[in-house]
Structure 1
């Protein structure tokens, strides 16, 4: 399954002594530990996006057509990245919106697959301030973007208001790129072949780095007042 989250599990990341120290902590402090580590990994991931580099330090592969956009790649995904769940034993860093998570997986892992308009019919309401712009919404309509709206049996071109309510900025950018590239080949398509290179920004560089970060935060919690 394509990776769209960073899963932090304390098992296997700590030595025996550190694991014993961790088990001595109450659940609330173990949750705090994993939450803090996950947020630091989020900071590292966002730094990779700012620097436009992969986990190994290599630069992101450039866009095929640089004129299509000068904004930094994956910037929208970085803003939406958050700790989606945390327990005393495991934390997950990712995206709450299912479509955003799917987009992130394609960007992080690279992909070449066919997606259909019908497969993109399940959308979540977008939080205020993160929606697509009106300019993006109008362009999506011009490009023939269609979805199956509530109460309708067939795919239809949604109004601008629907797009602003259900599609966020990062999603709109990717869909515009997909539809624009396909538009030159054929109009009225209801499926698209998506080919994206790997741009691996999510996570720490290595498991060793994750272990070191986990140990560092553990020591801070052990040495802080309870």
Structure 2
């Protein structure tokens, strides 16, 4: 959620002029400013960059766009004194805030299990293993035996895992590998995931001043 007060960018003289405007015109001015802020934010999300054009830090893995759906639920609202832009969906707002400022996210076992169960509900258990499962299997050292006469172990690639293992098989294998790891070393009860800052929301002060000048020059 962004809350914006026009007074923060105005000179004393402009503040006096603003105070002379009727409430309806002040609300119209703030509404125009916040609508432009929403438009600029959606453009930043589309371009995967900060408002000043600086590219965001890339994903550690994969090339899928970040926060690509956030722009759809973003809306603005204005009163004669304050303009706001944000999301009705609480989770979307929390995600936006976390990435805007680069805040760390604390994970617990319970939170991880809850996310995992939601993912299972959305995926066909008999379908192929997901790319995420395949990456985890490789990270945990999953290997297969091959060769007719001389048996040897080989670490299969992501494509092989997705082609030859079902979602359910990959899930069961992951459980066994994780259990083996836990028997070898103490398990964590919680861990922190660092989220790099990916700013995308900002009020363009020059646009505010231009809109204010236009409102002052408006007849009536």
- Asked if 1:76 is matched to 2:69, the reply is yes
1:32, CA displacement in angstroms?
0.9
Indicate the structure with greater helix content: 2
Q: How many residues align?
A: 168
Which residue of the other structure, out of 99, 104, 115, is the alignment partner of 2:91? 99
Task: Assess if the C-alpha contact under 8 Å between 2:105 and 2:195 holds in 1.
Answer: no
Task: Assess if the C-alpha contact under 8 Å between 1:143 and 1:179 holds in 2.
Answer: no
Distance 2:67 2:33 in 1: 22
1:130 corresponds in structure 2 to: none
Structure-2 change in CA distance of 1:17 and 1:182 (3 Å) = farther
Distance 1:225 1:118 in 2: 61
TM-score with structure 2 length normalisation? 0.62
1:223, CA displacement in angstroms?
2.3
TM-score with structure 1 length normalisation? 0.60
Distance 1:16 1:9 in 2: 14
1:163 corresponds in structure 2 to: none
Structure-2 change in CA distance of 1:144 and 1:11 (3 Å) = same
Distance 1:195 1:45 in 2: 23
> What CA RMSD, in Å, does the superposition of the two structures yield over aligned residues?
3.7
What stretches of structure 1 of length at least 5 have no aligned partner? 121-139, 147-156, 161-175
Could you report, residue by residue, the CA deviation over 1:140-172 in whole angstroms, capped at 9, with x for unpaired residues? Answer: 9993239xxxxxxxxxx8x66xxxxxxxxxxxx
Structure-2 change in CA distance of 1:180 and 1:190 (3 Å) = farther
Task: Assess if the C-alpha contact under 8 Å between 1:18 and 1:215 holds in 2.
Answer: no
